[in-house]
Amino acid sequence: MLAVEANVHHGGKRGLVKNVFSLGLVQIANYVFPFITVPIVSRIIGPDKFGVLSFSSSFVTYFTILINFGFDLSATRAIASNRNNVEERNKIFNQVVLAKVLLFLVSIVLFTIALFTVPQLREEKEVAIFSFLLCLSWVITPNWLYQGMQELSRVAIFNLVTKVIFTVIILMVIKQKSDYIWQPLAISIAQIIVGIYSFTYALKRYSITLSRVKLMPVLELLWKERVIFFSMVVINLYTTTNVVLLGFLQSETQVGYYSAGYRLIVIIQSLISIPLSQAMFPFIGSAFAQSRDKGLDVVKQMLPIVTVLTFSAAFILWLFGPLVIMLLYGHKFEPSILVFRILAFVPVVIGWSNMFGIQTMINLKMDKVFLRITAIGAVSSILLNFLFVTRFGFVGTAMSWVLTEIFIVLCMYFVLAKNGINIIDKKYFSPAHFKKFLKPIFLTVKQKINR
């Protein structure tokens, strides 16, 4: 037991740091490199076509959520609990992959119906189809496996190189406004390449054997994990759905204005919040596997780190965001500055809700409570969108998102407090704790540099 605890505190922490850096690299590849193309592409295609791409991408997100089915949490949790059990690991892998294939087939049917019934998709069929191809990559990309095994660094470099190639292709292909349709195709192809590599490498790395799986256990798996899936759905209702509702209620140009500011906020989430969240989940899950108190203590230690990192990054972006928007998008996107100012500190609130919800509630198996809170938040978000968007347009969309996130994090805090759980510990916000926590990080970075 002592050996296990030592591993969590020392080897585990070093592994956490390594995974955060690796995930950060992946997120740089996913978001920052595409933004290299923005100064050129946005000026060529303009706010209206930028809005078309954003609407289509947001709509396709519904299908990626269906295909992932919350496996980034549930399957990661299962793998983390069976890291050294090869037989169980094989079973989980084969069941999850078959489940994703089945969900992909369902997605094809639903997307085909939407393609002919949703006016915004029907008018831009090529963009919609090219965007939907991205769903195939989510079938074959086993990020949940790498997360559960706490080994994400091995796919980071390949992903980075792929995105560099994607960026070069985009800059070569998009020369005039009508070329906007090729952007989602390039993104989809790049992600599929990453998915194929990740899948084949995982088979070799973890000695996984593909085998036939009976349908009934897979259906039972989907039923078992339905709560987490619905949680992911309702979370999407107050994030991505904002763009979709704006597209239904206002013009493509307004979608373009909102998306420009929104995407800069997504960058900070992608570089800091998402790597921290994905790397922490199996790390914290391992601590909870030892004991409830051990897991809660780790969450308490991580909360100040998440707070300082997200707040610092948000402040910098709030300060320089307007300049960045003008440099990236040009004067045509000047209205996006107000959107960005409103959303600047959303990553801080999301960081806290992630610690309260994903890292604490999910690890404590409070899945149903988590679902209820996010569902209430989703309903509130939709109501706020209809109220604000019709009056304030794309600015109303930004206001709705901020208010929804604040409402959700307050609900999570009070529900946990009602259950006798408080993850806010003043002693971990002290400079001494930061020094103690950051020391192994600096040592890890120093070793990387010396190599």
**Lowest mean per-residue pLDDT among 22-31, 64-73, 135-144, 149-158:** 22-31
Query: Would you give the distance in Å from CA 202 to the centre of its chain?
Result: 21
pLDDT surpassing 90 at residue 107: yes
Q: Is the dihedral of CA 40, 42, 43, 49 positive or negative?
A: positive
Instruction: Report d(CA 130, CA 57) in Å as an integer.
Output: 10
pLDDT surpassing 90 at residue 169: no
Q: Judging by beta carbons within 10 Å of its beta carbon (0-12, 13-18, 19+), is residue 204 exposed, middle or buried?
A: exposed
Looking at residue 274, its pLDDT comes to 64
Confidence of residue 7 (pLDDT cuts 50, 70, 90): very low
Looking at residue 109, its pLDDT comes to 97
**Rounded mean pLDDT of 161-165?**
73
The 10s digit of each residue's pLDDT in 41-78 is 788 888 888 888 888 988 998 899 899 888 887 888 88
Q: In the chain, what percentage of residues exceed pLDDT 70?
A: 83
Range ranked top by mean pLDDT from 95-99, 244-248, 272-276, 328-332: 95-99
Residue labelled with tokens 């107050």: 238
Phi, psi of 58, deg, nearest 5: -65, -40
Residue labelled with tokens 């994607």: 166
The 10s digit of each residue's pLDDT in 387-437 is 999 889 999 999 999 999 999 999 999 999 999 998 888 888 888 777 776
pLDDT surpassing 70 at residue 336: yes
SS3 (DSSP) at 37 = coil
Q: Judging by beta carbons within 10 Å of its beta carbon (0-12, 13-18, 19+), is residue 165 exposed, middle or buried?
A: middle
Looking at residue 124, its pLDDT comes to 92
Cβ 267 vs Cβ 31: under 8 Å: yes
Q: What is the dihedral of CA 394, 399, 402, 408, to 10 degrees?
A: -110
Q: What is the mean pLDDT of the chain?
A: 82
Confidence of residue 143 (pLDDT cuts 50, 70, 90): confident
**Lowest mean per-residue pLDDT among 103-112, 128-137, 330-339:** 330-339
pLDDT surpassing 80 at residue 292: yes
- Give domain limits for the chain: 2-450
DSSP string, 342-398: HHTTHHHHHHHHHIIIIIIIITTT-HHHHHHHHHHHHHHHHHHHHHHHHHHTHHHHH
